Amino acid sequence: MPELPEVEIVARHLGALIKVRTFIRAQLRRPNLALANPPRQFAAWLKGARVDEVGRRGKHLLIHLDNGRTLITHLRMTGRFLYVDGQERAIPHTQAPAENLWERTHPCVPVFVRQIITGDRARYKRALPGLHTHALFWLDNGQKLLFTDQRHFGMMMIVRSEELENSAPLGKLAPEPFSADFSDEFFYHSLRRSRRPIKQVLLDQTKVAGLGNIYAVEALHRARINPRRPAHRLSLARAAALRREIIAVLNEAIAAGSTLKADPRDLESRYVGGAYEESWRVYDREGQPCFTCQTPTRRFRQGARSTYYCPRCQRS
- Selected range binding DNA among 44-52, 207-215, 242-250, 257-265, rule: CB under 7 A: 207-215
Decide if 303 contacts 315 (C-beta within 8 A): no
Through-space distance between the first and last CA atoms of the chain, rounded to whole angstroms: 28
Among 20, 96, 119, 151, binds DNA (CB under 7 A): 151
- Decide: helix, strand or coil at residue 128: coil
Q: Catalytic one among 104, 172, 233, 305?
A: 305
Q: Where are the alpha helices (DSSP H) in 109-255?
A: 113-118, 121-125, 184-192, 198-202, 213-222, 236-255
- Closest to 57 in 3D by CA, of 127, 4, 108, 19: 4
Kindly identify the residues of this chain, within the stretch 234-293, that bind DNA according to CB under 7 A: none
Question: How far lies 257's CA from each of 13, 56, 127, 165, in Å?
Answer: 11, 16, 20, 27
Decide if 106 contacts 123 (C-beta within 8 A): no
Q: Is 152 in the site for DNA (CB under 7 A)?
A: yes
Query: Cβ of residue 283: shortest distance to DNA, in angstroms?
Result: 8
- Selected range binding DNA among 18-26, 235-243, 272-280, 299-307, rule: CB under 7 A: 299-307
How many DSSP H helices and E strands does the chain contain?
9, 11
Among 22, 150, 161, 279, binds DNA (CB under 7 A): 150
Q: Catalytic one among 5, 6, 56, 59?
A: 59
- CA–CA gap between residue 131 and residue 147 (Å, rounded): 11
Q: Active-site residue 193, yes or no?
A: no
Query: Cβ of residue 139: shortest distance to DNA, in angstroms?
Result: 27
Closer by beta carbon to DNA, 193 or else 270: 193
Among 15, 169, 177, 257, binds DNA (CB under 7 A): 169
Question: How far lies 3's CA from each of 8, 156, 205, in Å?
Answer: 9, 17, 11
Query: Cβ of residue 267: shortest distance to DNA, in angstroms?
Result: 26
Size of the residue set binding DNA (CB under 7 A): 37
Kindly identify the residues of this chain, within the stretch 58-97, that bind DNA according to CB under 7 A: 58-59, 74, 76-77
Decide if 76 contacts 89 (C-beta within 8 A): no
Q: Which residues bind DNA (CB under 7 A)?
A: 1, 3, 32, 58-59, 74, 76-77, 118, 120, 122-123, 126, 132, 150-153, 168-169, 193-196, 200-201, 203, 205, 212-214, 231, 301, 303-306
